[in-house]
Amino acid sequence: AAAITLRLRDGLTPPPDGTTLAGCTRCALARHATQSVPGEGPQDAALMIVGEQPGDMEDLAGRPFVGPAGQAFDKIATAAGLDRRAAYVTNAVKHFKFIPRGKRRIHQSPNADEVSHCRWWLTRELDTVQPALVLAMGATAALALTGDGSGITRRRGRIERGLHGGAVFITTHPSFLLRQATDAGRETQEALFRRDLEQVAQILADLE
């Protein structure tokens, strides 16, 4: 984790003056993706939700969490009393990483270098929004936010201190729920995810 933290810190070197997210070519992912996908939501949100990277549908739409993972998230968040529209929603990495297979584009997880380079943009978002709480969904978001790349099964449901100095609540990625092989597995993971989101909703309610 120490080495990963160092590389993450390197990612804070600014890109050339005047570089916008839309024009960022800091890493190779920009070459193949349709477009960069910026975060969206109120600039003064108390909660910032961070995923991994845009998926196939987000890459085409230019908006975060509009595909299957986003729909799974929306359903469970609503049940947990968490209002997505009140949150600022973004990703650790702003370009879709994939390998083409026929007509399909198969998702690939970003590596630590890509996460590190893209941290420049995530840090700008954190500086602007200054959320009271950040929800890290999945290992990539947890790595980008805390510098700790270790597995999240044991970390989920807890608050860690982010590299930005603020609180980061760790949970699994919603696509993990969709990848479960059995209905029972999916139900179990949905219940755990919902419990985490209920905790987040409670923390936000306590802040008010």
Closest to ligand URA by CB, 110 vs 147, is 110
Closest to ligand URA by CB, 90 vs 208, is 90
Stretch that binds ligand URA, among 48-56, 79-87, 164-172, 186-194 (CB under 6 A): 48-56
- Spatial distance between the Cα atoms of 118 and 146, rounded to a whole number of angstroms: 14
Greatest alpha-carbon span in the chain: 51
- Spatial distance between the Cα atoms of 59 and 36, rounded to a whole number of angstroms: 7
**Does residue 39 touch ligand URA according to CB under 6 A?**
no
Q: Which of 52, 59, 125, 196 binds ligand URA (CB under 6 A)?
A: 52
Least Å from the CB of residue 62 to ligand URA: 11
Closest to ligand URA by CB, 67 vs 131, is 67
**Does residue 114 touch ligand URA according to CB under 6 A?**
no
Question: Could you count the other beta carbons within 10 Å of the beta carbon of residue 106?
Answer: 11
Q: Which of residues 121-160 bind ligand URA (CB under 6 A)?
A: none
Instruction: Report DSSP state, residue 40.
Output: B
**Does residue 41 touch ligand URA according to CB under 6 A?**
no
Instruction: Report DSSP state, residue 164.
Output: T
171 phi and psi angles, rounded to 5 deg: -145, 180
Closest by CA position to 165, among listed 192, 147, 191: 147
Amino acid at the residue 149: G
Stretch that binds ligand URA, among 6-14, 51-59, 116-124, 198-206 (CB under 6 A): 51-59
**Does residue 51 touch ligand URA according to CB under 6 A?**
yes
Least Å from the CB of residue 66 to ligand URA: 7
**Does residue 58 touch ligand URA according to CB under 6 A?**
yes
Q: Which of residues 64-93 bind ligand URA (CB under 6 A)?
A: 64-65, 67, 69-70, 91
3-state secondary structure at position 65: coil
Contact (CB, 8 A) for 147 and 8: yes
CA quadruple 166, 134, 171, 114: dihedral sign:
negative
What's the number of CA atoms in the CB half-sphere (13 Å) around residue 169? 20
Task: Tell me how many residues contact ligand URA (CB under 6 A).
Answer: 13
Least Å from the CB of residue 174 to ligand URA: 7
Cα separations in angstroms, 114 against 23, 27, 66, 117: 16, 6, 22, 5
In the complex, the residues that contact ligand URA under the rule CB under 6 A are 51-55, 58, 64-65, 67, 69-70, 91, 175
